[in-house]
Amino acid sequence: MKREMSVNGTFYPARAVEIERYFEHFNAVLDEENITLPAVHAKAVVVPHAGYIYSGFSANAAYRVLAQSGLSNLLVIGPSHRVALEGVSLCEARSYETPLGDIAFAQELHEALTARFGLSRTIIHAEHSTEVQFPFIKHYMPHAKITEIIYGRTSPAYLSEIIDFALSLKDTGVIISTDLSHFYTQEEANKLDSICLHAIESLDISLLHRGCEACGILGVEAIISSAKKHSLSPHLLDYRTSADASGDTSRVVGYVSACFSQENA
């Protein structure tokens, strides 16, 4: 039962060499622009999920930071885009395919989540919000194992319970996938997205409900709640819109990456 690729060749390249070129380019820009990423022990990240040409730079910054943490198990959480889903679905695949090689299945984490939360189970997911994360994970954390869940209509409090449990486990981290506002002008998007950025940076859930239009807002609210409970510190890593790649400022999509760290680790 392998979680086969479904958006390779569209959201990200189908060939390993092309993916590696993206990562090399993103890191070259970080170096050339002297962008310093925090040297922290991250337990969770927020990452975007658009095509690599648009949001890959933002996501890459988060995975560079996450790779420093030496985590061995990762819970990848994203909103469902293709299926009208009630609740939270746990993927039953026993490996995850990427052009860079398969990612191993975090069996103990999977079994613990099943036993504790009784999540609905899907044999194979085909959700891009989670899948676009897999090549990053394979590149930056080649020995990490993963478990994937996607959510539809559910409560952020319930998602936060799942995240709390994962964060309480040794060597386990959480990846929250979301994009920000969609199809506003650049100026309008900046205003709306700033609400989400401030909410993350201040760990203030109330701000999210004052105009944030993240497609994964439930996951963002859940990780903010969990970060507060686990005394994790937020760090904004990158914000941009699709206009940075396309030049079109008339209808943009916003992207953010952030991490949540244990300062005393």
Q: What is the pLDDT of residues 193-223, one digit of tens each?
A: 999 999 999 999 999 999 999 999 999 999 9
Which residue segments constitute the domains of the chain, with CATH numbers given?
A: 2-262 (3.40.830.10)
Distance CA 169, CA 172 (A): 6
Give pLDDT, residue 118.
87
Computed over every residue of the chain, the mean pLDDT equals 95
Residue 9 backbone phi and psi in degrees, to 5: 90, -10
Q: Are 54 and 24 in contact (CB under 8 A)?
A: no
Q: Is pLDDT above 70 for 124?
A: no
Give pLDDT, residue 264.
57
| Digit-coded pLDDT (tens) for 215-248 | 999 999 999 999 999 999 999 999 999 999 999 9
Give pLDDT, residue 123.
54
Separation of first and last alpha carbons in the chain? 37
Q: Is pLDDT above 80 for 129?
A: yes
HEC assignment per residue over 92-159: CCCEECCCCCCEEECHHHHHHHHHHHCCEEECCCCCHHHHCCHHHHHHHCCCCEEEEEEECECCHHHH
Which tokens go with 111? Answer: 């079994």
Give pLDDT, residue 83.
84
Is 53 strand, coil or helix?
helix
Q: Is pLDDT above 80 for 120?
A: no
| Digit-coded pLDDT (tens) for 60-94 | 999 999 999 999 999 999 999 988 888 999 999 99
| 186-198 average pLDDT score | 98
